[in-house]
């Protein structure tokens, strides 16, 4: 069995802040493909290279250097083209560079090699979201949930895709289920709060935002959302207090284009933040 490692890549495009992908740990299955006998197709140097490249790929990913990570996954694939985890992980590196079509090709290959592994479907769904292909993304998340009905990330991601279609009630239901399955999945709860606001449930949304900020004081996304919601509600002192914290954490929230089209806040939430930024 592949060992799946859940990662949130917070420094890149929206679908990795609110729509997680999963990286796949390779130590056991990868080295398991290398025979220990004298009949091994790999030299001792190649075996050392494989381990070094594996570690380097994950290190580059953790540092946000996705081009370097992609290069290492490619090196590994030259030696181990039958390893689905490598294809999926290279796909992740490519999505992180907005190489969406190439990433989807990698995920397709991973799925061909491991059709019952959920992670390549989950990851392909994020790439499809990046292309705005919401229905195809939903189909991939549905497949993940067929394979594992308790997959919180799949519910969260499906909620994001449904939000992309403007189906906010179903998005809310998916975010709720994700949070129920993984109570510490902060981004699922954040997406739930944003969807509530879009659905006209401002009081419930603000309550959820406050709870998240209380539990995660450095959660810039929810502090920014709380700023906007409180400003719109006339609570300007608390709104400005939260905004000071936001600017100390992540100044991208000053850019309404980034908030609306990269982070992809719902229209009502984006509009509320824009009014705050314009102080009206």
Q: Are residues 29 and 76 in the same domain?
A: yes
- Write down which residue in 156, 181, 206 finishes a domain: 181
Q: Are residues 29 and 168 in the same domain?
A: yes
Q: Are residues 177 and 188 in the same domain?
A: no
pLDDT for res 76:
96
Longest dimension (CA), the chain: 75
- Write down which residue in 128, 163, 181 finishes a domain: 181
CA distance 165 to 146: 22
The CATH number covering residue 119 comes to 1.25.40.10
Q: Are residues 146 and 248 in the same domain?
A: no
Q: Residue 21: beta bridge partners? A: 7
Structural domain for 237, as ranges: 184-280
Q: Are residues 205 and 169 in the same domain?
A: no
Q: Are residues 54 and 154 in the same domain?
A: yes
Q: Are residues 19 and 37 in the same domain?
A: yes
pTM of the model: 0.86
- Write down which residue in 181, 200, 233 finishes a domain: 181
Q: Are residues 71 and 205 in the same domain?
A: no
With a cut of 50, which residues of the chain have pLDDT below it?
1-17, 26-39
Q: Are residues 236 and 173 in the same domain?
A: no
Q: Are residues 197 and 155 in the same domain?
A: no
pLDDT for res 94:
97
Q: Are residues 4 and 137 in the same domain?
A: yes
Q: In the chain, how many domains are there?
A: 2
pLDDT for res 43:
86
Q: Are residues 159 and 203 in the same domain?
A: no
């Amino acid at each position: 069995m592949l060992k799946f490692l859940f990662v949130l890549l917070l420094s890149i495009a929206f679908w990795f802040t609110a729509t997680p992908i999963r990286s796949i740990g390779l130590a056991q299955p990868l080295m398991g493909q290398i025979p220990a006998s004298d009949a091994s197709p790999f030299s001792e140097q190649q075996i050392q290279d494989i381990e070094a490249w594996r570690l380097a790929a994950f290190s580059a990913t953790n540092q946000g250097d996705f081009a370097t990570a992609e290069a290492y996954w490619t090196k590994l694939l030259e030696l181990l083209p039958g390893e689905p985890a490598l294809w999926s992980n290279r796909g992740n590196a490519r999505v992180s560079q907005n190489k969406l079509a190439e990433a989807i090709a990698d995920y397709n290959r991973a799925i061909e090699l491991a059709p019952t592994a959920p992670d390549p479907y989950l990851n392909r769904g994020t790439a499809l979201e990046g292309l705005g292909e919401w229905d195809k993304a939903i189909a991939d998340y549905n497949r993940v949930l067929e394979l594992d009905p308790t997959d919180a990330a799949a519910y969260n991601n499906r909620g994001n895709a449904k939000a992309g279609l403007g189906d906010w009630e179903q998005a809310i239901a998916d975010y709720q289920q994700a949070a129920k399955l993984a109570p510490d999945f902060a981004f699922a709860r954040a997406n739930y709060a944003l969807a509530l606001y879009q659905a006209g449930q401002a009081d419930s949304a603000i309550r959820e935002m406050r709870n998240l900020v209380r539990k995660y004081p450095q959660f810039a996304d929810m502090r920014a959302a709380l700023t906007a919601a409180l400003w719109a509600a006339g609570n300007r002192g608390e709104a400005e207090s939260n905004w000071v914290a936001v600017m100390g954490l992540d100044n991208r929230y000053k850019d309404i284009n980034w908030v609306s089209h990269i982070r992809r806040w719902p229209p009502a939430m984006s509009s509320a933040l824009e009014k705050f930024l314009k102080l009206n």
